[in-house]
Amino acid sequence: MPREHRIAEIKLDDLRVDPLNIRQGIWINDPDLVASVKAQGVLETLVVRPDEEGITKYTIVCGSRRYNASLEAGLETVPCNIRNLSDKQAAILSYIENMMREDIPKWQNMDWIGKQVEKYGVEEVASETGHSITTIATWWGIYKLPDTVKGLLRPPDQRTRNQKNAILMFNPYNLRYTLKIGAATTLFTELGYCDKETIMETAVFIMKKGLTNKTVTQFLPLVRMYHQEHSIEEIWMKYKELDDSIHQITLYFFDETWDAIRNACLEKQRPIRELLTSIIENWLY
């Protein structure tokens, strides 16, 4: 039986960051790490696998920061744990190693999760990563937003040129803050089937106004109903008129009931709020 892994010193020229590595090759200079590598070398082995594309000998599944620090430190080789990993195994291993590190931005986590859900589905990704199905489903919904909208989740210096240009179309000044995760989730659940221009315009409006999550959850259903006939500003004025007549209630469900409701909404691609409201209205009238 072939060994599942072996340890070896590998030349840096024979390595590249794996396409499934959650960091995607992004290197934010860390002088302390570079200094440590210069003084003591790489103490923790990198996890690599054979490069299926043949660009280099191996791709780095775990350890891209150590790899980049080694390049800056002038090392020629690094210790590696060579493993025969499938794409799925490589992706999950990279994510698990990095999921607790604060230097991984939230938008990058969600982007990675979305790509995995495309391949393996919500439940399998939840099981492999240890996240709840609700969390994975939420991130999957945000992942399906237009790319320009997802750019608003990034700090300004991490937005792509296309994302920056799209923002300037709706706002003449570069927005120097980010869209909140809760607002992005509501954008998907309420406006997921709207055209991307409407979603983008609404997202920028939310940011310019600094709307709270509570206001966003009340305002976006009106946008969904009236966006074809009215501008966002007109809908906002309508919301302000209706604000005093809007009432909120809190509902509690057993886990089994909540799972059934959530799965039904995912299958039908309908917001949970919309489904529950229609059930209550049908029961009343």
Q: How far apart are CA 219 and CA 202, in angstroms?
A: 10
DSSP class of 189: H
Residue 16 pLDDT: 94
Please name every residue paired with 29 in a beta bridge, in sequence order, or none if there are none: none
Please tell me whether residues 214 and 270 are part of one structural domain: no
DSSP letters spanning 114-152: HHHHHHH-HHHHHHHH---HHHHHHHHHHHTS-HHHHGG
CATH number for the domain that contains residue 32: 3.90.1530.30
Per-residue pLDDT of the chain (285 residues; tens, 9 = 90+): 345 678 999 999 999 999 988 887 777 788 899 999 999 999 899 999 999 899 999 999 999 999 999 999 999 999 999 999 999 999 888 888 877 666 678 888 888 889 999 989 999 999 888 888 888 988 999 999 999 999 999 888 888 888 888 888 887 666 677 898 889 999 998 998 889 999 999 999 998 888 888 899 889 999 999 999 999 999 999 888 876 655 666 777 788 888 888 777 777 666 677 777 777 777 776
Please tell me whether residues 275 and 198 are part of one structural domain: no
Task: Kindly give the residue spans of alpha helices, DSSP state H, lying in the chain.
Answer: 31-40, 64-73, 87-98, 106-120, 122-129, 133-143, 147-150, 161-170, 181-191, 196-209, 213-226, 232-242, 255-268, 272-284
Would residue 107 count as lying in a domain? no
Please tell me whether residues 16 and 71 are part of one structural domain: yes
Please tell me whether residues 265 and 235 are part of one structural domain: no
In the structure encoding, which two tokens stand for residue 100, read together? 């607790």
Would residue 218 count as lying in a domain? yes
Would residue 165 count as lying in a domain? yes
Please tell me whether residues 172 and 263 are part of one structural domain: no
Please tell me whether residues 71 and 156 are part of one structural domain: no
Please tell me whether residues 43 and 22 are part of one structural domain: yes
Please tell me whether residues 90 and 154 are part of one structural domain: no
Would residue 58 count as lying in a domain? yes
Would residue 230 count as lying in a domain? yes
Domain boundary pick from 97, 118, 136? 97
Would residue 276 count as lying in a domain? yes
Spell out a b/e string for 155-188, using b for 16 or more CB atoms within 10 Å of the CB, else e. Answer: eeeebeeebeebbeebeeeebeebbbbebbbbbb
Residue 101 pLDDT: 67
Please tell me whether residues 162 and 191 are part of one structural domain: yes
Residue 219 pLDDT: 92
Please tell me whether residues 213 and 269 are part of one structural domain: no
Q: Give how many domains the chain has, as a whole number.
A: 3
Would residue 71 count as lying in a domain? yes
Would residue 120 count as lying in a domain? no
Residue 62 pLDDT: 92
Domain boundary pick from 63, 97, 131? 97
Give the domain extent around 86: 5-97
Please tell me whether residues 213 and 239 are part of one structural domain: yes
Please tell me whether residues 63 and 87 are part of one structural domain: yes
